[in-house]
């Protein structure tokens, strides 16, 4: 589970593998993203905000 502590409202997120494949995309109403269904590895999380801006985060997932 990832929690976003951002003052901006999040519209949706994309989880992208290190090979550039979108493995998860979802609209979130809370500031939490569940990654329990993914395998260990590096991922990029692209966060799209309601104001049209976006931000990319790099995450190492170890479950």
Rounded CA separation 50/6 (Å)? 12
Name the domain count of the chain.
1
Which pLDDT value is given to residue 60?
A: 96
Assigned token pair, 13: 């997120």
**Per-residue confidence (pLDDT) for residue 21, from 0 to 100:** 97
CATH number, domain containing residue 6: 2.60.40
Rounded to whole angstroms, the Cα distance separating 63 from 40 reads: 6
Are β-strands 41-49 and 10-17 bridged in parallel, bridged antiparallel, or unpaired? antiparallel
Looking at residue 52, its pLDDT comes to 94
Region of residue 20 (left: phi > 0; alpha: psi -120 to 50; beta: else): left
**Per-residue pLDDT tens digits for 13-57:** 999 999 999 999 999 888 889 999 999 999 999 999 999 999 999
What's the domain range around 19? Answer: 2-61
Q: Is the pLDDT of residue 7 over 80?
A: no
Q: What is the pTM of this model?
A: 0.88
């Amino acid at each position: 589970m990832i929690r976003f502590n951002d003052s901006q409202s999040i519209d949706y997120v994309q989880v992208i593998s290190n090979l550039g494949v979108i493995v998860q995309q979802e609209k979130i109403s809370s500031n939490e993203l569940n990654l329990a269904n993914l395998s260990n590895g590096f991922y990029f999380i692209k966060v799209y905000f309601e104001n049209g801006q976006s931000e990319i985060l790099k995450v190492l997932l170890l479950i």
